[in-house]
Chains A and B, each alone.
Chain A
Amino acid sequence: MTSYRDAIRTALQTLLREDPRVFFMGEDVGRYGGPYAVSKGLLEEFGEDRVRDTPLCESTFVGAGIGAAIGGMRPIVEVMTVNFSLLALDQVVNNAAVMRHMSGGQFEVPIAVRMATGGGKQIAAQHSHSLENWYAHVPGIKVLAPATVQDAHDMLLAAVEDPDPVFIFEHQMLYGIEGPLDTESTPPSPWKAAIRRAGKDLSLIAYGGSVHKALTAADELEKEGLSAEVVDLRSLRPLDRETIIGSVSRTHRAVVIDEAWKTGSLASEVSAILAEEAFYELDAPVARVCTIEVPIPYAKHLEEAAIPQVDRIVEAARRSVVGG
């Protein structure tokens, strides 16, 4: 059994050891060992050239990562959290995403960017965002959300190998979870969703930090005689429409769980896909369980109330099945 953070570190080590083009940079990734202890020991093992502590200049160090990728390296850039990544959005949207296109295919940006995301630790409004949907909105980049220890490891390897810019969102509540890690077998494609639990009465569709809540909700629902299928989206751009539609075609009901605010969310995107492509399979309206439309509060009970929890998922599932 390995922890999520250790699984990422293992992947970083593998990459730094095996590919001289790979280097890793971000704030406090070196001396500090990483704000989430992901990169502990890496500076000692690989040196300052390959593991770089950056100044606090998100825009320029992400942009430099982009430039270095264009220049033939395979940079892994860590932005401490999605909250700080907003400073770098211009480089992401106006450079990383469009370089291949603007140059008519002459240049590509094989950069991998990792960032922590989500709330739930009472770190308040500026530090608790879930903005995966902002990234998943943009053509030209790819977006992954590992929910398991195995995915945390495999997705980073896939991201670095990919010739396109890949953004990996690690929910901050997951760094300490434990799970099996297999570094031998060929991993499955990161661009496909996974059925974490098969069911027949409804589909709970989630990603990242919400997947485990969905699984817990499925256990609850089982006691009430409801069989819930849990779909882990894994890839947020591109979305695996086939698996999503396949699941709802079997269960005929969908509840989408997303820690972002409902408006313009990925949950909305999944709902639209179901309405467009699985309309005749739906036996109930698609339900979205999202964070309440407020900045994330500091007080524990308020934060808990705002962010989707197991009870809200169960409630939405019940309503979708029983109706009336």
Chain B
Amino acid sequence: MAEFVMPSLGADMSAGVLAKWRVALGDRVAKGDIIAEVETDKGLIEVEVFEAGVVESFLVQEGEKVPVGTVLAEIQTAPASAPAPVSAPVSAPGSIISAGASDLVLDGPLASPAVRRRAHELDVSLPSVRGTGEHGRITLDDLVGVGQRARSAPGARVRISPYARRVAMERGIDISRLSGSGPGGAIQASDVLSVTAHPASAAVSPAERMQRAIAAAMTRANDEIPHYYVEQSIDMANAIAWLRETNASVSVSERLVSGVLVLRAVALALRKHKSLNATWQGPEPVPSAEIHVGLAVSLRGGGLVAPALRNTDQGSLGELMVRMTDLVGRARAGTLRSSEMTSATITLTSLGERGVESVTPIIFPPQVAIVGCGATVERPWVVEGKVVPRPIMRVTLGADHRVSNGHQGSRFLTALDRLLQEPEKL
């Protein structure tokens, strides 16, 4: 019997809502089938099952919010084959290790369930507390001072009846977002009971939620990861010439863009530079055997995702182009697969379209490196002693100094440069 658990779909996801089952009891599933849709801060995500077998039981109802790691269903695997070990989602350092479904706030300040409970008892709003723990984590001691201050500043409290507060806690409703119909605007039970079980979607826009999630992730990455940066200005003349030539002989739908060249080149360069193709699992960075480059895609409304193009180093460029287009399209439509959300081993962010010359990017945990590309710009360049105009693209590698060093990073970039000089070989 295998367990299908609520996956971690992002380093800062602590819980999710099982929005919809896509299978029924007794259905046979194969590895990779979409088994459910999970509502997260980043939107609705299709989740695949990693085992083959028959759906034996559902342990969580549609609409229920549960912490990451909660068993959602049981899959009766084929008796002949030994059940594959369930790969439990690994949480990177700095992610919220949270268990309580009664957490009032999904993302936001770092605080353990015990601290959250105490803050609730003291009627203290966590975002207002300055955490003195590791990585800005809020500790019980931090609450002591705030609790005392809060008591002398009654205006800071949420006015809510004890019964209403209890109902809100039981239902996982964030009281800071409610307005009250009681005396002096106090929140009464009726105000809480009229809110649906997913107050976040009613009260907060998805974009806002994503924004907060991104902010939290980036803050942590910036705080935790000792970044070093190396930069290379790459002459894209050969690449552009080759593209023009290749695209002339294919239909519009088959045309390649320079981005796919960079994508493939990054993937190939990583083959020889494993130190940049690893992810943190627990206390150790584990190099990945496969190369899945995450592509940073900006969404309408201000969101950002970086789904992985799995096995970016394989297949033809044409295939890669198709896959890339599809991925970007689905990213924008909000129909990414869970594996795409979690499996990137490095990220490529290209802001060339925006017109900036270079990017100094922040690594997406639990990865150990990120490549940022600026726009390809005509520049005066020295070739064989003469100053000539050339299309120059500035590429910046940001890498985790705990895993690699400037020497390794530089060699990666020079390898990338060399690969892009021979686009026909990509």
Is there direct touching of A and B in the complex, by C-beta distance under 8 Å?
yes
Interface residues of A (CB under 8 A from B): 252, 279-285, 319, 323-324
Within 8 A of A (CB), among B154-187: 161-166, 181-186
User: In the complex where A323-B182, A324-B181, A324-B183 touch, is A279 in contact with B162 (Cβ < 8 A)?
Assistant: yes
B181 and A282 contacting across the interface, CB-CB below 8 Å: no
B181 and A280 contacting across the interface, CB-CB below 8 Å: no
- B163, B183, B184, B185: the one contacting A282 at CB < 8 Å is B163
B161 and A284 contacting across the interface, CB-CB below 8 Å: yes
B426 to chain A, nearest CB (A): 65
- B163, B183, B185: the one contacting A252 at CB < 8 Å is B163
B189 within 8 A of A: yes
Measured CA separation A283–B192 after assembly (Å): 11
B188 and A323 contacting across the interface, CB-CB below 8 Å: yes
B162 and A280 contacting across the interface, CB-CB below 8 Å: yes
Counting chain B residues whose Cβ lies within 8 A of the other chain, the interface size class is 10 to 19
Measured CA separation A280–B183 after assembly (Å): 18
Query: Can you name the residue of chain A whose Cβ is closest to the Cβ of B190?
Result: A283
Residues of A within 8 A of B162 (CB): 279-283
Residues of B within 8 A of A324 (CB): 181-185
B163 and A323 contacting across the interface, CB-CB below 8 Å: no
B166 and A284 contacting across the interface, CB-CB below 8 Å: no
Residues of B within 8 A of A319 (CB): 183
B117 to chain A, nearest CB (A): 14
Within 8 A of A (CB), among B165-224: 165-166, 181-186, 188-189
- A252, A279, A285, A323: the one contacting B181 at CB < 8 Å is A323
Residues of A within 8 A of B189 (CB): 252, 283
User: In the complex where A283-B188, A283-B189, A284-B188 touch, is A323 in contact with B183 (Cβ < 8 A)?
Assistant: yes
Secondary structure call for the A interface: loop
B1 to chain A, nearest CB (A): 40
Q: Which 3 A-B pairs have the closest CB atoms?
A: A323-B182, A283-B163, A283-B161
* Interface core residue of A279, A281, A324 (most chain B CB under 10 Å): A324
Measured CA separation A281–B161 after assembly (Å): 9
Measured CA separation A283–B166 after assembly (Å): 10
Residues of B within 8 A of A282 (CB): 161-163
- A279, A280, A281, A284: the one contacting B182 at CB < 8 Å is A284
A323 and B166 contacting across the interface, CB-CB below 8 Å: no
* Interface core residue of A281, A282, A319, A323 (most chain B CB under 10 Å): A323
B194 to chain A, nearest CB (A): 14
Measured CA separation A83–B185 after assembly (Å): 45
A245 to chain B, nearest CB (A): 13
Residues of A within 8 A of B166 (CB): 280
Residues of A within 8 A of B181 (CB): 323-324
Measured CA separation A323–B187 after assembly (Å): 10
25 contacts between A and B (CB under 8 A): A252-B163, A252-B189, A280-B162, A280-B165, A281-B162, A281-B163, A282-B161, A283-B161, A283-B162, A283-B189, A284-B161, A284-B182, A284-B183, A284-B188, A285-B183, A319-B183, A323-B181, A323-B182, A323-B183, A323-B188, A324-B181, A324-B182, A324-B183, A324-B184, A324-B185
- Told that A252-B163, A280-B166, A283-B161 touch, could you supply 18 new A-B pairs with CB distance under 8 A? A252-B189, A279-B162, A280-B163, A281-B162, A281-B163, A282-B161, A283-B162, A283-B163, A283-B188, A284-B161, A284-B182, A284-B188, A285-B183, A323-B183, A323-B186, A324-B181, A324-B183, A324-B185
Residues of B within 8 A of A252 (CB): 163, 189
Measured CA separation A252–B188 after assembly (Å): 10
Measured CA separation A270–B183 after assembly (Å): 22
Residues of B within 8 A of A279 (CB): 162
B389 to chain A, nearest CB (A): 73
Measured CA separation A282–B161 after assembly (Å): 7
B227 to chain A, nearest CB (A): 48
Measured CA separation A323–B186 after assembly (Å): 9
Measured CA separation A316–B163 after assembly (Å): 19
Query: Can you name the residue of chain B whose Cβ is closest to the Cβ of A275?
Result: B162
Residues of B within 8 A of A281 (CB): 162-163
Residues of A within 8 A of B185 (CB): 324
Measured CA separation A284–B186 after assembly (Å): 9
Measured CA separation A324–B188 after assembly (Å): 10
A187 to chain B, nearest CB (A): 35
Measured CA separation A183–B2 after assembly (Å): 70
Residues of B within 8 A of A283 (CB): 161-164, 188-189
A156 to chain B, nearest CB (A): 40
Residues of A within 8 A of B163 (CB): 252, 280-283
Measured CA separation A282–B182 after assembly (Å): 13
Residues of A within 8 A of B165 (CB): 280
B179 to chain A, nearest CB (A): 12
Measured CA separation A285–B183 after assembly (Å): 10
Query: Can you name the residue of chain A whose Cβ is closest to the Cβ of B186?
Result: A323
A286 to chain B, nearest CB (A): 11
Residues of B within 8 A of A323 (CB): 181-183, 186, 188
Measured CA separation A76–B185 after assembly (Å): 55
Measured CA separation A252–B166 after assembly (Å): 12
B27 to chain A, nearest CB (A): 44
B106 to chain A, nearest CB (A): 24
Measured CA separation A285–B161 after assembly (Å): 8
Query: Can you name the residue of chain A whose Cβ is closest to the Cβ of B164?
Result: A283
Within 8 A of A (CB), among B347-365: none
Measured CA separation A284–B164 after assembly (Å): 10
* Interface core residue of A283, A284, A323, A324 (most chain B CB under 10 Å): A283
A299 to chain B, nearest CB (A): 34
Measured CA separation A116–B161 after assembly (Å): 40
Residues of B within 8 A of A285 (CB): 183
Residues of A within 8 A of B184 (CB): 324
Q: 1/0 per position for B137-168, CB-CB distance to A under 8 A?
A: 00000000000000000000000011111100
